[in-house]
Amino acid sequence: GHTVNFGRPWLAGSSCDHGLLSTMDGAKVERATIDEKEVHFLWLIPITEAERDYKIKFGLEALDELFVEKEVDCADALRASSV
């Protein structure tokens, strides 16, 4: 649920200039042992600054619910902000 500021758009023409680190909900490969070390896999979802601010104000679950409600394609870095 942590966020990062890319300092610029994810892609040219994108309003997504932040990233949301998220677990792979429902995925079978969230953890693996590699060379006797446990590795955790996370999604890096491109989000807008407004979505980041929404997450800070209302929480990660609220942002996730907003994405579901608005049927946001989180893999589309050229999408409009959901907020």
pTM of the model: 0.83
Q: What pLDDT does residue 22 have?
A: 86
Q: What pLDDT does residue 30 have?
A: 73
pLDDT tens string 22-37: 876 655 557 778 889 8
In sequence order, the β-bridge partners of residue 40 are: 31
pLDDT tens string 41-67: 888 999 999 999 999 999 999 999 999
> Helix crossing, 60-69 with 49-58: angle to 10°?
120
